Amino acid sequence: MDRQEMTKELWGNICETLRNTIGAGNFANWIEPLEFVEVSDGVAQFVAPTSFYGNYVTQNYADQILYLFRRLDVPAERLSFRIRPTAAAMRPAMSKQAAPTAPTKSAKTKTESAPAARSSYAEDGMLPDSQLDPRYTFDNFVVGKPNELAHAAARRVAEGGPVTFNPLFLYGGVGLGKTHLMHAVAHELRRRDPNLNVVYLSAEQFMYRFISALKDRRMIDFKQMFRSVDVLMVDDVQFIAGKDSTQEEFFHTFNALVESRKQIIISADRAPGEIKDLEDRIKSRLQCGLVVDLHPTDFELRMGILQTKAEMFHSQFPGLEIEDGVLEFLAHRISSNVRVLEGALNRLFAMASLVGKPITLDMTQDCLADLLKSTDRRVTIDEIQRAVAEHFNIRLSDLVGPKRLRAYARPRQVAMWLAKRLTNRSLPEIGRKFGGRDHTTVMHGVRRIDELREADSQLSDELELLRRTLSS
């Protein structure tokens, strides 16, 4: 085998694995256009269509590629890219038919979809093909109070037709569904009119494209490309804050599109006025249309999302049972964001299918111990006292007061036991919160409950119920 054949085989091997790990769509978009040259002095050398490819692959796939070389005993420490000379320095404006859409966020590639027809710009790396996540549709979006306005606005834009509010500005905390809604709008618009040029990209990608266009002296292409879109969606716009020349270019693109009545959808992690280091003129432009926020999820929405996702899992793993109460438990305990909630459910189903057992509450607590620990809430003694008084139907003043009647003494001991278990207060501190009792009284109460719960399963259930209510 000569050197050229060996090189080809080596890269062929790596490509096979890469295609499986990064998915066919990403592979076709980013790896296939590269030409592998050789590894020399620890540097794996490639020829790429544009510098943008080189930057993107370095950022997103370098670790995997280098690992695969090393696994084949080829010591590679870094990647380097030479740019393939292009025949045409400038291209004609992109036709609508061939218009590519929506690359996914570089930082959080979600799933791949098959690449569509490419334009000359796409081939040159100006705007890679659509990788809209096929799961992010309106059908899969669960609507509840916290997101109903954002959902309604997105639906309205997805109907197409004359632009009524421009831009639509969606904002909210991490993992609350901004990207999902934007992809859903893009899917719907394309379903209604496949020729519509819908472009979705993250603000970070906008910046990379802008920088490589500057470097490659292709600003005319860049401007033409962005001004020829019908709908532009820019995700996580807070990213361009403080990046002056990118902001400037974004501002011009934005104005040109608004002037020609093209729809723009922007997302950010906070309201336009609250994005630091964003020019005032951009802030005010962003506020010109409709600004809607996605509020943190509430219990009902989390339950809705969990039920929808659990049904999807059920269709994939029909044999898997999920015990009553597990979804409620998750919806109570994981309130940070939907991505974490989804991750928890994925983990549970993966574990259950591995061991071939139903998903029980015990399994959930074991399997998600790390996650649940980090979401553990700090409970206060006041909250404990209120919950216990309510549970035993006695007055708060009787719970902490001096009366020694059994009807008060037992709930008091229960509350002390919970205070010891759920807070990190010392026994004297707990005593003080119970009408200034001595720490030995608290210790006695805690011990008494420990003894009783061994023998009394009803009490044990009551304690568990109270513990769960207080931790949620």
Ligand X SMILES: Nc1ncnc2c1ncn2[C@@H]1O[C@H](COP(=O)(O)OP(=O)(O)OP(=O)(O)O)[C@@H](O)[C@H]1O
Catalog residues that contact ligand X under the rule CB under 6 A. 136, 140-142, 147, 172, 174-180, 236, 269, 305, 338-339, 342
As a whole number of angstroms, the distance between CA 210 and CA 216 comes to 10
What sections of 381-438 are H helices per DSSP? 381-392, 396-400, 406-422, 427-433
As a whole number of angstroms, the distance between CA 295 and CA 29 comes to 35
Q: Are 363 and 348 in contact (CB under 8 A)?
A: yes
- Tokens of residue 99, six digits: 């218009």
| Between 37 and 340, CB nearer to ligand X | 340
DSSP state of 139: T
Find out whether 177 is annotated in a ligand binding site.
yes
Using CA atoms, how far residue 11 sits from 31, 65, 75, in Å, is 11, 10, 14
Residue 158 beta carbon to ligand X: minimum distance, rounded to whole angstroms: 15
| Between 260 and 346, CB nearer to ligand X | 346
| Between 260 and 307, CB nearer to ligand X | 307
Find out whether 223 is annotated in a ligand binding site.
no
| Between 172 and 411, CB nearer to ligand X | 172
Residues 6+ positions from 32 with CB-CB distance below 8 Å? none
Find out whether 356 is annotated in a ligand binding site.
no
DSSP state of 274: G
As a whole number of angstroms, the distance between CA 225 and CA 92 comes to 10
376 alpha-carbon distance from chain centroid:
21
Residue 173 beta carbon to ligand X: minimum distance, rounded to whole angstroms: 7
| No. of helices (H) and no. of strands (E), the chain | 21, 8
Find the radius of gyration of the CA atoms of the chain.
Answer: 29
| Between 91 and 151, CB nearer to ligand X | 151
Q: Are 259 and 265 in contact (CB under 8 A)?
A: no
Q: What are the b/e assignments for 152-170, b being 16+ CB within 10 Å? A: ebbbebbebeebebbbbbb
State the helix-helix crossing angle for 244-259 and 203-215, rounded to 10 degrees: 100
Residue 266 beta carbon to ligand X: minimum distance, rounded to whole angstroms: 12
Length of the chain: 472
| Between 196 and 305, CB nearer to ligand X | 305
- Tokens of residue 69, six digits: 């070389």
| Between 237 and 414, CB nearer to ligand X | 237
Q: What is the 3-state secondary structure (H, E, C) of 413-427?
A: HHHHHHHHHHCCCCH
Query: From the CB of residue 255, how many other CB atoms can be counted at a distance below 10 Å?
Result: 12
Residues 6+ positions from 43 with CB-CB distance below 8 Å? 76, 77, 78, 79, 80
Residue 176 beta carbon to ligand X: minimum distance, rounded to whole angstroms: 4
| Between 38 and 148, CB nearer to ligand X | 148
Find out whether 179 is annotated in a ligand binding site.
yes
As a whole number of angstroms, the distance between CA 445 and CA 451 comes to 10
Residue 368 beta carbon to ligand X: minimum distance, rounded to whole angstroms: 17
As a whole number of angstroms, the distance between CA 21 and CA 11 comes to 15
Binding residues for ATP are 175, 177-179
Known binding positions: 175, 177-179
